[in-house]
């Protein structure tokens, strides 16, 4: 899953800590995006130590490789980037997370900040802002583009009292429920969801029943529409 390339960091350490090469992990389910981001970073001397194509792999590779920065896409299979970010920040607190997304949504604002991400840029702005964002995060400073920053602040202040994701009808979803509904919308069976999340099939069936009732969903098509509407998967 990972593409590890050494060279550079060990030989440049010296006595000046600032001369050390920043090590970066790229997590995105599109190979062309990973390749483009890798090219931008390596052209500026950053070391891309690994890649991941889904949220679970992003966590595993972060723990294995200990990068200074993980660049994480929001919408990924198996586990979305926001939940992956929460776990990375909890399990590897020295790794800063930069969220990379195709779109901005106010519904994501609270999640981005509370998950522990220190930066957020749009993929369309990557060529212009990626290096600046990585430079900021490598110094443990936050980075948001100007047009996103004010929206992030306004939405965060407006929603700072909320703890759990909330669907448009106001019903709270737990993080486990978010994971399950994302996997179901991706076409996974109850058994496959159970295996991926280390749960029993009966537990997944119970969660599924509760989710369908809580969200007034009546079939798989409703689950898929809900997941798309709430940016858990892409259409």
CATH of domain 9-159: 3.40.50.2300
How far apart (Å, rounded) are the C-alpha atoms in residues 203 and 130? 41
Strands (E), 88-197: 96-101, 119-122, 143-144
Instruction: Pick the more confident residue, 222 or 10.
Output: 222
> What is the tens place of the pLDDT at every residue in 164-199?
444 444 456 788 888 888 888 877 888 888 888 888
Per residue in 59-115, pLDDT (tens digit) is 999 999 999 999 999 888 888 888 899 999 999 999 999 998 887 666 666 677 778
175-229, CATH topology level: Arc Repressor Mutant, subunit A (1.10.10)
| Domain ranges for the chain | 9-159, 175-229
Residue 31: exposed, middle, or buried by beta-carbon count in 10 A (0-12, 13-18, 19+)?
A: exposed
Among 19-23, 54-58, 154-158, the range scoring the smallest mean pLDDT is 154-158
Judge if 9-159 and 175-229 fold alike in CATH terms: no
Enumerate the β-bridge partners of residue 24. 48, 69
Distance CA 137, CA 103 (A): 21
């Amino acid at each position: 899953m990972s593409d590890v390339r050494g060279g550079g960091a060990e030989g440049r350490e010296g006595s000046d800590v600032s001369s050390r090469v920043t090590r970066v992990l790229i997590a995105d389910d599109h190979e062309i995006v990973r390749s483009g981001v890798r090219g931008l970073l390596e052209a500026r001397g950053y070391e891309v130590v690994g890649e991941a194509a889904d949220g679970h792999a992003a966590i595993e590779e972060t723990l294995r490789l200990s990068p200074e920065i993980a660049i994480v896409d929001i919408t990924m299979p198996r586990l979305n980037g926001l939940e992956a970010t929460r776990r990375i920040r909890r399990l590897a607190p020295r790794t800063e997370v930069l969220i990379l997304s195709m779109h901005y949504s106010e519904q994501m604002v609270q999640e981005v900040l509370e998950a522990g991400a220190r930066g957020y840029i749009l993929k369309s702005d990557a060529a212009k802002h990626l290096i600046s964002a990585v430079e900021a995060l490598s110094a443990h400073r936050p980075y948001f583009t100007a047009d996103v920053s004010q929206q992030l602040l306004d939405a965060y202040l407006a929603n700072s009292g909320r703890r759990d994701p909330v669907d448009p009808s106001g019903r709270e979803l737990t993080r486990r429920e978010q994971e399950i509904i994302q996997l179901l919308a991706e076409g996974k069976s109850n058994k496959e969801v159970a295996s991926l999340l280390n749960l029993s099939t009966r537990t997944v069936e119970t969660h599924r029943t509760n989710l369908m009732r809580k969200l007034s969903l009546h079939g798989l098509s409703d689950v898929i529409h809900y997941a798309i509407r709430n940016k858990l998967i892409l259409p």
